[in-house]
Amino acid sequence: MIVALVVIGIVVLIAIFLVFRYNSLVRARNRVDQAWSQIDVQLRQRYDLIPNLVETVKGYAAHERQTLEEVVAARQHGVEATGVAEQAGAENEITQALGRLFALSEAYPDLKANTNFLNLQEQLSGVEGKIAYARQFYNDSVFGYNTRIQSFPTNALASMFNFGEREYFEAEGEARGPVRVQF
Amino acid sequence: MIFEAVRANKRKSWLLIAAFVLTIVALGVVFALIFRLGVVGVVVALVLALLLTWGSYWYSDRIALAMSHAKAADPVEYARLHNLVEGLCIAGGLPKPRIYVIDDPAPNAFATGRNPEHAAVAVTSGLLEKMNRIELEAILAHEISHIRNYDTLVMTLAVTLVGFAALLADFAFRFLWWGGPRHRDDQRGGGGPQAILAIAGVVLIIVVPIVARLMQYALSRRREFLADASGVELTRYPPGMISALEKLRADQTVVHSASKATAHLWIEEPLPTHQGEGHQPRLNRLFSTHPPLEERIAVLREL
């Protein structure tokens, strides 16, 4: 009689343990998904800031058409990009184009003193930082999730319920190279 | 190395907390039995200690901010500050805390709040002027790490334990003096054993609160190391924090709006220490809420 009760007790405890484990896997996987869309949110922010920047610069340096057009084109590539590799390539293009634009602005003291321009510069710096942090958080989430589904005893549970491994965000070939600033 | 540093600090602080709690529990037992406080006395002391500290924990953000005359930081005027905090919160998966600025030339910052959802970060105007973007980010990462690691809760726990120990000692003293629950048999003993007990009692009453406080300060220092390591875990850039700490070391101005009560919250000891100190005397260091800047810089260089 007692033995039966003990056995039932142990089974119940194991069941509760498994439920908690399963839920933590769900939470970890959802965090990975959420982190991925967070990256997108920051990328969109950046795209939204660029038209305003282009307009502001045009007000002072309208004849620097080539640089301005490069920025607009790079932004367009970013908006239209599909797939991680293409997106990363477009991102790199935007960073380079923006770099040239800001280097250019050094020659226009009026532009540099414009509060709108300064605000946009700060916001763009901020957004680039946030994109980097969003990617970092995504990778951290993937690390946490992958470690969980690979560790014993959760790995048995994971394979039973099809919790697959997630991939890290890696800087694709072009983005890994040095940023070339050409004038 | 960074992740290892964070885990080592967390492990050491858990050990410290366990030692702290066990010590206080042992004291409770000693006081209950030897000083005849009984279970009732101990429970009363514990409840009182909890009541006294709970309010300050629950409203820690409001209290700390009011005491330091902090003003909410306008998102447009302090755009950089807001952007940096937002970035770090993304890195840490945290909600954005409320941000404040304190009008004070001394560079310093603090973070407080009972949990990440009710948190606040404050920086002095001096800090904003003296630090560049990367250093400011490193300091903010340290502060946000305090929030992430629930340090307000941890230190409230420590302060509660100290208060509990102090109350136990106080009750024991009163019982000795005014005569607490005693078995009638003991009345006849008189003399020797009573005197020894009295002396032991007085010694404990003086020593126990001090020992408890030392443990509280040791825990505070450990949590500062943890915040340094966690901050670097967010930014992945130790040189930023090293540079910021070196600037703090070189700067001698003292924060005006700090007090002993809030000292442990700031990024560096806000109250004046010895001038020109290369090495604080050993005893001073045991009572510090923060580890010496030298040591913090040396630890970060190892990462």
* CB within 8 Å: A119 and B88: no
Highest mean pLDDT among A76-80, B51-55, B74-78: B74-78
A chain contacts of residue B90, beta-carbon cutoff 8 Å: 38, 42, 130, 133-134, 137
pLDDT band at B192 (very low <50, low <70, confident <90, very high): low
DSSP-derived letter for residue B104 is -
A6 located within any domain? no
Stronger pLDDT, B209 or A25, i.e. the higher one: A25
Cα atoms found within 13 Å of the Cα of residue B291, Cβ hemisphere only: 18
H-helix or E-strand containing B193?
A: helix B191-235
Crossing angle of helices B191-235 and B133-148, rounded to 10°:
130
Tens-place pLDDT, residues A104-149: 888 888 888 888 888 998 999 999 999 999 999 999 999 999 999 9
Answer whether residue B279 shows pLDDT above 60: no
Give the separation between CA B137 and CA B54, rounded to whole angstroms.
32
Answer whether residue B77 shows pLDDT above 80: yes
Answer whether residue B213 shows pLDDT above 70: yes
Answer whether residue B31 shows pLDDT above 70: yes
* CB within 8 Å: B92 and A125: no
Q: Give how many domains chain A has, as a whole number.
A: 1
Tens-place pLDDT, residues B218-270: 999 999 999 999 999 999 999 999 999 999 988 866 666 565 556 666 777 66
A7 located within any domain? no
Cα atoms found within 13 Å of the Cα of residue A153, Cβ hemisphere only: 6
pLDDT band at B275 (very low <50, low <70, confident <90, very high): very low
A chain contacts of residue B231, beta-carbon cutoff 8 Å: none
A8 located within any domain? no
CATH of the domain at A69: 1.20.1440.20
pLDDT band at A179 (very low <50, low <70, confident <90, very high): low
Active-site annotation holder among B135, B143, B224, B233:
B143
Give the residue numbers spanning the domain of A38.
18-176
A13 located within any domain? no
* CB within 8 Å: A136 and B236: yes
A12 located within any domain? no
A40 located within any domain? yes
pLDDT band at B202 (very low <50, low <70, confident <90, very high): confident
pLDDT mean over B200-227:
87
Residue B298's CB is within 10 A of a number of other CB atoms, namely 11
B76: nearest CA partner in chain A:
A119
Residue B117 contacts residue B136 (beta carbons within 8 Å): no
A134 located within any domain? yes
The pLDDT assigned to B274 comes to 47
pLDDT band at B85 (very low <50, low <70, confident <90, very high): very high
Tokens of A80: 């239209």
Stronger pLDDT, A23 or B67, i.e. the higher one: A23
Question: Does residue B119 sit in helix, strand or coil?
Answer: strand
The pLDDT assigned to A37 comes to 92
Give the separation between CA B143 and CA B163, rounded to whole angstroms.
26
A60 located within any domain? yes
Residue B226 contacts residue B5 (beta carbons within 8 Å): no
Point out the least confidently predicted range of A20-24, A81-85, B11-15, B33-37.
Answer: B33-37
Respond yes or no: is residue B143 known to be catalytic: yes
pLDDT band at B276 (very low <50, low <70, confident <90, very high): very low
Answer whether residue B272 shows pLDDT above 60: no
Stronger pLDDT, A4 or B40, i.e. the higher one: A4
Give the separation between CA B115 and CA B97, rounded to whole angstroms.
10
Stronger pLDDT, B86 or B197, i.e. the higher one: B86
Query: Chains A, B: CB contacts under 8 A, how many?
Result: 41
pLDDT mean over B75-82:
94
Output the CA–CA distances (angstroms, integers) from residue B8 to A49, B15, B85, B225, B264, in the order listed: 42, 11, 26, 10, 21
